[in-house]
Amino acid sequence: MKHKIILFNTVLIILCVAVGYQWAQDDCSSFLVTKGASKDGSVMITYTCDGEFLPHLENTPAQDHKPDAWIEFRGRDGKLRGKVKQVPHTYAVVGLMNEFQVAIGETTFGGRSELRNPKGLLHYFTMMRLALQRAKTAREAVRVMTDLVEEYGYSSTGESFSIADKDEAWIMEMIGPGPGGKGALWVALRIPDGYVCAHANQSRIGEFPLDDPENCLYSKNVISFAIQKGYYDPKSGKPFSFRYAYNPPKPSSLRTCAARVWSMFRRSAPSMDLSPDFQRGVKGAKPYPLWIKPDEKLSVHDVMNIMRDHYEGTEFNMTRGIDAGPFGTPLRCRGLTWEVDGVKYSWERPISTQQTGFSFISQSRGWLPDAIGGVYWYGLDDTYTSCYVPLYCCIDDVPESFKKGDLQQFSWDSAWWVFNFAANFANLKYSYMVKDIQKVQSELEGQFLSLQPVIEKTALELLKTDPGLVKRYLTNYSVSQGDMVVKRWIELGEYLITKYNDGYVKDEKGRPRSLGYPSAWLKEVLRSKPGQFKLPQWGEEKKDSQLH
């Protein structure tokens, strides 16, 4: 009898479907940093996985498989949808980073709806996991994913993938061939060293070289298929552009997607003075480049800050104005687009959003052994009010609270709920409470970054004397720090609800103080309801009494 393996449990399959199809059109942001653009020579990618779901962090050990092993894929109804031939050996994976420091993230751009192939077997998240289990480099991961969809079919809509190893960063974009079609249409580009790239739910690859296999790979029919479908006319005299063929820009996607790319770039290279015109839909404005050179090389901490953005420092700052409420919250409830009196509007869509399920920053370093060089900086819920925990890519366990949780049931045992509680409660008096959150966040992340050289020096010494202890040492460190962060965040949540109770703010001695509302917001209230809140003057009150 053939040996069979089920790769994902039913819960994870449903999670992937939900994130991929229901929310992904305006969710997820990714930033790529090549080693020549980072301060220490790390290759970094980021991924905010945004949507209404509660993630369970997984670690999958390396495994050997029998020659007749297959991976089964079943639908929600339990029926077999298909199976994929297993390879003899699969690599260990923590989250979305493997033991060889390869990491993969994504953002969904959707693209032409008619190109989705519901009979394709592989969903994008499945491809990512399979690639991490089978690839030692980013380039190899590209080949694994594209070979898999060629053989088994691609079921998702348009996707942009960030793929990194310890030497290179790649962006790959892929879309299906439509119902019953074979394979997928795709292009993969290596980011030039010294540059950064970004994508956020909108196709980013335009023109690409057809004769540079070292830096550009693509499906053989990516152009001919577009011609056949009428997406591209070679007689137009214009060069072929992947994004214009398969994901033509729309006003809504410019505002909610291109704006995030603009903000990641303007924070990386202020000297460019990058115009917001394209993301605002100004006619004739040039699209943003696929990659740029940052003004200064970026550290892990710099990248954390880039992923904590609400357009602060720009005219689109979401913590300012009447839409931010009296206490400057950047939270905007969905939907992002809305209509009043027949006119359509859109909220800004920031990189940092309350709808984030989890995010990561992967750090891959070629000058260190893989077990020590790969760090998966993992955060839960909103990046602005979360805390990134260093999880080394060799570990064989993760914090217990990172594996738990039910979206329908609050629990202090679930790290996601712990972070979610503090973030949601802070929106009652955001401008005050976020400072308390950032104080703890800064302390803990600063501690992790400061200790990193010490932890890794010890790990290197262990590697010389007892290599078997390295995994145990780094697992213990990663798990203990994750547990400590969750404990601190529970204490933080309890502190917030005590200090900011019933609208008061307690001082350092625990005495409640009434601080009222900011004057700018009060002026807006008075403008909206003139006369309603005005108290009569004493002379006016006496005159009124005589009239009666």
Segment 438-457, tens digit of pLDDT? 999 999 999 999 999 999 99
Residue 539: the pLDDT is: 64
128 contact partners, CB below 8 Å, separation of at least 6:
96, 104, 106, 145, 161
Q: Same domain for 105 and 185?
A: yes
Q: Is the pLDDT of residue 402 over 90?
A: yes
Q: Same domain for 100 and 11?
A: yes
Q: Same domain for 391 and 493?
A: yes
Q: Same domain for 152 and 60?
A: yes
Calculate the dihedral angle through the C-alpha atoms of 326, 332, 336, 339, rounding to the nearest 10 degrees.
Answer: -30
- Residue 341, domain member (yes or no): no
- Residue 407, domain member (yes or no): yes
Closest CA to 311 of 249, 360, 382, 262: 262
Residue 286: the pLDDT is: 93
Mean pLDDT score, 286-299: 97
Give the model's confidence band at 253: pLDDT under 50 very low, under 70 low, under 90 confident, else very high. Answer: confident
Q: Between residues 281 and 477, which one has the greater pLDDT? A: 477
Q: Is the pLDDT of residue 10 over 60?
A: no
- Residue 392, domain member (yes or no): yes
Q: Is the pLDDT of residue 388 over 80?
A: yes
498 φ, ψ (degrees, to nearest 5):
-80, -45
How far apart are alpha carbons 223 and 235 in whole angstroms?
A: 13
Residue 213: the pLDDT is: 97
Q: Same domain for 18 and 41?
A: yes
pLDDT digits (tens, 9 = 90+) for 167-184: 999 999 999 999 999 999
Give the model's confidence band at 114: pLDDT under 50 very low, under 70 low, under 90 confident, else very high. Answer: very high
Q: Between residues 260 and 8, which one has the greater pLDDT? A: 260
How far apart are alpha carbons 263 and 432 in whole angstroms?
A: 25
Q: Which of 328, 355, 372 is the last residue of a domain?
A: 328
Q: Same domain for 159 and 192?
A: yes
- Residue 355, domain member (yes or no): no
Q: Same domain for 172 and 309?
A: yes
- Residue 400, domain member (yes or no): yes
Q: Same domain for 165 and 314?
A: yes
Mean pLDDT score, 370-384: 98
Give the model's confidence band at 91: pLDDT under 50 very low, under 70 low, under 90 confident, else very high. Answer: very high
Query: Per this entry, what is the length of the chain?
Result: 548
Q: Is the pLDDT of residue 308 over 90?
A: yes
- Residue 231, domain member (yes or no): no
DSSP-based three-state secondary structure for 160 = strand
Q: According to the 3-state scheme, what is the secondary structure of 19-72?
A: HHHHHHHHCCEEEEECHHHECCCCEEEEEEEECCCCCCCCEECCEECCCCCEEE
Residue 542: the pLDDT is: 54
The CATH number linked to 307 is 3.60.60
- What percent of the chain lies above the pLDDT cut of 90? 85
Q: How wide is the angle at C-alpha 475 spanned by C-alphas 307 and 9, nearest 5°?
A: 75
- Residue 497, domain member (yes or no): yes
Q: Same domain for 433 and 524?
A: no
CA-derived radius of gyration, the chain: 25
pLDDT digits (tens, 9 = 90+) for 17-45: 333 333 334 489 999 999 999 999 999 99
Q: Which of 328, 345, 366 is the last residue of a domain?
A: 328
Which tokens sit at 524? 């807006």
Q: Which residue, chain included where needed, has tokens 């819920």? A: 381
Residue 543: the pLDDT is: 55
Give the model's confidence band at 335: pLDDT under 50 very low, under 70 low, under 90 confident, else very high. Answer: confident
**Structural domain tally of the chain?**
3
How far apart are alpha carbons 49 and 402 in whole angstroms?
A: 15
pLDDT digits (tens, 9 = 90+) for 116-159: 999 999 999 999 999 999 999 999 999 999 999 999 999 999 99
Mean pLDDT score, 520-525: 91
Q: Which domain holds residue 287?
A: 4-205+249-328
- Residue 264, domain member (yes or no): yes
538 φ, ψ (degrees, to nearest 5):
-60, -40
Q: Same domain for 528 and 490?
A: no
Is 0.95 topped by the overall pTM? no
Q: Same domain for 463 and 517?
A: no
Residue 251: the pLDDT is: 80
How far apart are alpha carbons 398 and 403 in whole angstroms?
A: 8
How far apart are alpha carbons 63 and 59 in whole angstroms?
A: 12
Residue 258: the pLDDT is: 95
How far apart are alpha carbons 390 and 379 in whole angstroms?
A: 9
Q: Same domain for 301 and 419?
A: no
